[in-house]
Amino acid sequence: MRNFRITVDGTPYEVSVEELDASDAGVSPSASANSAATARRPATPAAKPSPTAPPTPAAPPVTLAGAAGPNDVASPLAGTVVSIEVTPGQQVSEGQPLIVLEAMKMNTHITASRSGTVSAVHVAVGASVTEGQILLSIG
């Protein structure tokens, strides 16, 4: 059983997810059935991809708007990616520029909120991003 926090339209939901193989089907796992967290699982919004996410097939599921984890760098506003200053595997220090977005007639510099290694870049130059979309992750 693994616990996740999923944010849908700004409302955070705590969900517990248990992987069941075929032989377990139909057996009620008592622990999760009694859990209040499981009862509140918002299955539909979590399962379908965000309607505002770019419809590129390569887009990984973590770009679901608003589902930022502690390692993710989310876009503060909707805009277009002008440049990406880092590559996966690169060491970054706090305050270092990561991505430049153009939005509302302005360039917005996204900087690292902490030091670490860039584990993934989820967007490409020229891509349109939505508010809260995960731009990259720092491991």
Partner 1 sequence: MAIDKKLLDDLERRQAEAKASGGPERIAKRHARGQLTARERLEGLYAKHTFQEFGLHAQHETRGFGMEGKSLPTDGVITGIGFVDGRPVAGFSQDFMIAGGSLGKIHARKICELMDHAGRGGMPIVGFNDSGGARIQEGVESLSGYGQVFNRNVLMSGVVPQIAVICGPCAGGAVYSPAMMDFLIMTRHSASMFICGPEVIRAVTGQHTTMEEIGSAEAHARDSGNIHFIAEDDAHAIDLVRALLGYLPSNNMMDPPHRLAAEITLSDDLEVEALIPEDSKQAYDVKDIIGRLTDEGSFLEVQEEFARNLVVGFGRIDGVVVGVVANQPLVKAGTLDIDASDKGSRFIRFCNIFNIPLLTLVDVPGFLPGVEQEKRGIIRHGAKMLFAYGASTVPKITVIMRKAYGGAFLAMCSRDMGADLVLAWPTAEIAVMGAEGAVNILYRKEIDEAEDPSARRRELIAEYQAEFASPYRSAERMFVHDVILPRRTRAAVSLALRSLLSKRETRPPKKHGNIPL
Positions that interact with partner 1 (CB under 8 A): 3, 9-10, 12-14, 35-37, 39-40, 52, 76-79, 102-109, 130-132
- Please count the other Cβ atoms lying within 10 Å of the Cβ belonging to residue 92: 19
Q: Which is nearer to partner 1, 84 or 110 (CB)?
A: 110
Q: What's the min distance (Å) between Cβ of 5 and partner 1?
A: 8
7 closest CA partner among 39, 46, 44:
46
Of 66, 77, 64, the C-alpha closest to 108 is 77
- State in angstroms the smallest separation of the CB of 12 from partner 1: 7
Distance of CA 121 to the CA centre of its chain: 11
Nearer CB in complex with partner 1: 4/116: 4
Q: Cα–Cα distance between 117 and 91 in angstroms, integer?
A: 4
Q: Give the integer Cα–Cα distance in Å for 91 and 1.
A: 33
Please report how close the Cβ of residue 24 comes to partner 1 at its closest, in angstroms. 23
Min separation Cβ 13 and partner 1, Å: 8
C-beta closer to partner 1: residue 54 or 120? 54
Q: Which is nearer to partner 1, 55 or 57 (CB)?
A: 55
